[in-house]
Amino acid sequence: EDQVTQSPEALRLQEGESSSLNCSYTVSGLRGLFWYRQDPGKGPEFLFTLYSAGEEKEKERLKATLTKKESFLHITAPKPEDSATYLCAVWEDTGRRALTFGSGTRLQVQP
């Protein structure tokens, strides 16, 4: 049973076309939810951490929000350089310090 599910698996946008990526999770207790960006052949790049429902964080064209069951990564007026795989990960309240990752959303922004 997947604990972290990301949708859609792939998304193709035109430059300037805003959209949202979804990360839903089914864990007993959430200590933190993380968003990363990964370019081909590279390690994930840290974007945001969200610790409690209702929290929002922004960075340039990206805005992450968190509810008790899911997180959204909103991309406003994307540019081709935003093309990447976006990963979300959860840190569960089990006393175990390990992130559980979703399978990611591959975003392609066309000029």
Binding site for another protein (CB under 8 A): 31-32, 34, 36, 41-46, 49, 87, 89, 91, 96-104
Q: How far is the CB of 8 from another protein (least distance, A)?
A: 16
Q: In the 3-class helix/strand/coil scheme, how is 61-105 assigned residue by residue?
A: CEEEEECCCEEEEEECCCCHHHCEEEEEEEEECCCCCCEEECCCE
Whole-number Cα distances in Å, 100 to 20, 27, 55, 88: 21, 10, 20, 8
Residue 55: helix, strand or coil by DSSP?
coil
Q: Smaller CB distance to another protein: residue 72 or 101?
A: 101
Q: Smaller CB distance to another protein: residue 44 or 78?
A: 44
Q: Smaller CB distance to another protein: residue 76 or 103?
A: 103
Q: How far is the CB of 104 from another protein (least distance, A)?
A: 7
Residue type, 7: S
Q: How far is the CB of 99 from another protein (least distance, A)?
A: 7
Q: How far is the CB of 89 from another protein (least distance, A)?
A: 8
Q: Smaller CB distance to another protein: residue 90 or 109?
A: 90
